[in-house]
Amino acid sequence: MNRRSLIKSMLAAPVLGGLSAGAAAAATTPDTGEMRRPARLQPGMTVGLVTPASNAWEDEDIRFAIDIVKSLGFAVKEGRNLYQRTQYLAGPDAARAQDINTMFADPSVDAVFCLRGGYGTPRILPLLDYDTIGRNPKVLLGYSDITALLNAINRRCGFITFHGPIAAQNFTDYTLNEFRKVLVRGEGPVRIGAPPRFEAAPGRAEHNNRLTRFRGGRARGRLTGGNLSLVCSLLGTPYEPEFRNRILFLEDVGEAPYRIDRMLTQLWLAGKLEQVAGIVFGKFTEADTSGNTFSVEHVLRERCGGLKVPVIRGLMTGHVEDQTVIPVGAMAELDGDGGSLTLLEAAVS
């Protein structure tokens, strides 16, 4: 079940628990100074495994995720509530938040990986202990619904977080190389998210991983963004990402072109698209283009092609097997003519 199907199922289920009043009072750390970098991943480190949103359907799927993390050379510490399920959530909000707080407070845990996305991460944002998390910067990895967690911690705690593969997936050779490049070797400057190598031949050309250059030019700035739906859900909250002078990257799954149009229009009407230094669109997979509709390309071009910043589409971020790791908060350069995104610094220490 993808995120769109999961959200539809919510209409038939009661909402569980309420959000803390702290959501309205939470403060935002100013976007000043250098962004702190968590320690690079090394073999033998301990990874805390958590479920901030939805859970896998079966316990065996969780054990599969544990095996994936171990195969990468890490020990695994399971969140106390890792196996909980409450309808479309991986247990009550307080339990899911507690696991994240505990993993960052635990000195034996070196990094925190998310089992999967789904739905529910924004619900726990007011329940996180940002003071403790901020004192213990660690690699935090996930994507999709985890976008809310990555941006909230980056903004509130001042260290780089990582939009990349979840634990409950097999890593392709491409995904593993991008993972090691950013999180293990800590390379920089280095290109990230370039389409995988394709062997062209007579009668054969790349089709699935093409780059579209909507507007050329070069721009530098810190990276922000992730899943388009989640970025929009944070607007007007204390956890809203910083947009000014940032390179915004966006992806999504299961969204028809008109819904992508609606969300980009929301960002435009809120004045956010005029603030960014550049835009990188990743993959918009499983988009329903049946019936009388614009294409995804048309929507992206119309909403963003007129901006006076570089805009490209097609880097390997999103709900795809070949997936890069994008460090939220790291300095990068976007080349709209060359169609590339380059980290200007190592994202880990």
In this structure, what DSSP letter does residue 108 have? T
Assess contact for 115 and 56: CB atoms under 8 A: yes
CA atoms within 13 A on the CB side of 293: 16
Tokens of 269: 């009407």
Token pair listed for 143: 């994507």
Q: Which residues of 170-193 are buried (b: 16+ CB within 10 A; e: fewer)?
A: ebeebbeebbbbbbbebbbebbbb
Q: Which two tokens stand for residue 297?
A: 């390309």
Rounded Cα gap, residues 341 and 52, in angstroms: 29
Active site positions, annotated = 144, 251, 319
Q: Which helix (H) or strand (E) holds 162?
A: strand 161-163
Dump the DSSP string for 216-273. Answer: --EEEEEEEEEEHHHHHHTTTSTTPPP-TT-EEEEEEES--HHHHHHHHHHHHHTT-T
Q: What is the dihedral sign for C-alpha 144, 70, 172, 159?
A: positive
